[in-house]
């Protein structure tokens, strides 16, 4: 007999989408009906797993694999059961899962990055973000640029639509580049300021940091140590490098395995070739 497929919402760091499910389960572990279900409760319940699913208005499901052709993403409107503990949020539907995420881009603008190359980096971030579903109940995005000092370009809660966040990203074209490469200091700033709820980060939502840099750090704070501190808080860290002279540092910054979390190209003009690899890892599929 043909098995009925259902759908659910999966959460990481912001909203990642509404996904079909069936009795074989997309997310197979620690399935539980939690009283007065909230996203935070489910995230705590699924601690140690990469993905949290909310299903049928009550159930939490945990797992480590998102991309599976058997369980495709469907229309977000199909996940329409409010969570009992927070009615503004959708907890999937009958055999449908809802999944969430927040993304911070940390972009090198030191003197070794020419302004034209920085523009290439911004174009790359723009095109990656075009594929993400942006919203207060979806993926939220922040950008930090850095050299000797760091700058918050916009916080996670500054923009809540694709149009507004893409306009803001495009507005960074033409930024002046100069100074040193203080990657560790920038990562410490992300942890202590950007990812705090007082500055727009969401409680119970996983966090992802994407670092884009063209060279080794020369600041006082070791970037690997700063990234380890982020990981202690449960943050996933990706490292995107231009050139391979600082590959060891990229590997120190990124989560394991490096084959998944480290990406690099030989020149800024080739960054867009990484889009098919990065976008699915941040939470959306390429059409």
Domain extent listing, the chain: 6-99, 102-282
The string of pLDDT tens digits covering residues 29-56 is 989 988 888 888 888 888 778 788 899 9
Whole-model pTM?
Answer: 0.76
pLDDT of residue 52: 85
Instruction: Compute the distance between CA of residue 151 and CA of residue 154 in angstroms, rounded to an integer.
Output: 9
Q: Could you give the percent of the chain with pLDDT greater than 70?
A: 92
Strand 102-108 versus strand 140-146 pairing type: parallel
CATH fold for the domain made of 102-282: Rossmann fold (3.40.50)
pLDDT tens-place string over residues 161-209 = 999 999 999 999 999 999 999 999 999 999 999 999 888 888 777 789 9
pLDDT score at 58:
87
Q: Which two tokens stand for residue 71?
A: 């369980």
Residues 205, 65, 272, 287: is their CA dihedral positive or negative? negative
Average pLDDT (226-236) is: 94
CB 124 within 8 A of CB 37: no
What is d(CA 146, CA 185) in angstroms, rounded to the nearest whole number?
A: 9
What tens digit of pLDDT does each residue of 88-132 get?
788 899 888 887 678 999 999 999 999 999 999 999 999 999 988
Q: For strands 207-213 and 102-108, give the pairing.
A: parallel
pLDDT at 13: 37
């Amino acid at each position: 007999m043909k098995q009925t497929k259902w759908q659910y919402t999966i959460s990481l760091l912001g909203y990642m989408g509404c996904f079909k499910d069936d009795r074989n389960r997309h997310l197979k572990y620690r399935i539980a009906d939690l009283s007065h279900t909230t996203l935070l409760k489910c995230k705590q319940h699924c601690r140690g797993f990469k993905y949290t699913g909310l299903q049928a208005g009550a159930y939490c499901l945990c797992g480590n694999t998102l991309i599976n052709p058997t369980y495709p993403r469907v229309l977000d409107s199909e996940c329409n059961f409010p969570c009992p503990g927070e009615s503004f949020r959708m907890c999937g539907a009958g055999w449908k899962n809802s999944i969430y995420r927040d993304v911070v881009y940390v972009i090198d603008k030191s003197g070794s990055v020419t302004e034209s190359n920085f523009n290439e980096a911004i174009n790359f971030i723009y095109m990656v973000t075009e594929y993400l579903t942006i919203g207060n109940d979806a993926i939220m995005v922040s950008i930090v640029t850095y050299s000797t000092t760091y700058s918050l370009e916009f916080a996670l809660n500054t923009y809540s639509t694709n149009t507004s966040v893409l306009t803001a990203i495009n507005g960074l074209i033409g930024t002046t580049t100069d100074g040193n490469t203080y990657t560790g200091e920038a990562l410490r700033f992300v942890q202590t300021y950007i990812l705090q709820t007082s500055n727009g980060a969401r409680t119970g939502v996983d966090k992802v940091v994407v670092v884009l840099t063209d060279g080794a750090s020369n600041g006082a704070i070791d970037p690997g140590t700063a990234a380890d501190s982020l990981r202690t808080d449960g943050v996933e860290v990706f490292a995107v490098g231009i050139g391979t002279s600082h590959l060891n540092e990229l590997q120190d910054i990124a989560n394991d395995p490096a084959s998944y979390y480290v990406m690099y190209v030989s020149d800024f003009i080739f960054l867009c070739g990484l889009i098919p690899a990065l976008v699915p890892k941040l939470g959306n599929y390429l059409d």
